[in-house]
Homo-oligomer: A and B are copies of this chain.
Amino acid sequence: MKLMIRVVHKVWLDRGGKAFGDGPCNLLKGIDKSGSLRQAAGNMGMSYSKAWRLLQTMEKRLGFTLIERKIGGSSGGGSQITSKARTFMRRYEKFRAEVKELTERAYQKHFRSLRK
């Protein structure tokens, strides 16, 4: 079977360097689900220290806090994302999905007649 030409796209936010993108978004989502930075990083095949440094960099560039330490309680601590991080993550997910759809649609529009 002959392969179709397909469009690939990448999108991210920048503020004096990469400030947010798919990696940080998926990491925040994992923390929100698991309540643990260590577990969320592990599920993405990322070391705890790399995930921690990534979030530190994103926080610095975005200018707001993304995760907080959850102290004590029956679960014995962990991490949780801030409400601002949750809002930002959800906006980014909607934005990312929309860009994906618009890019695909633009490709169909401009290249449809050249497809084999």
Q: Which of B62, B63, B95, B103 is the one whose CB lies under 8 Å from A11?
A: B103
Chain B residue nearest to A17 in the complex (CB) = B3
Query: Is B13's CB under 8 angstroms from A11's CB?
Result: no
Is residue A102 within 8 Å, beta carbon to beta carbon, of the partner chain? Answer: yes
Query: Is B13's CB under 8 angstroms from A5's CB?
Result: yes
Is residue A53 within 8 Å, beta carbon to beta carbon, of the partner chain? Answer: no
> Can you name 18 extra interface pairs (CB under 8 A) apart from A5-B15, A9-B99, A91-B111?
A5-B19, A5-B62, A6-B15, A7-B11, A7-B12, A7-B13, A8-B12, A9-B10, A9-B12, A11-B103, A87-B114, A91-B110, A94-B110, A95-B109, A95-B110, A99-B103, A99-B106, A102-B102
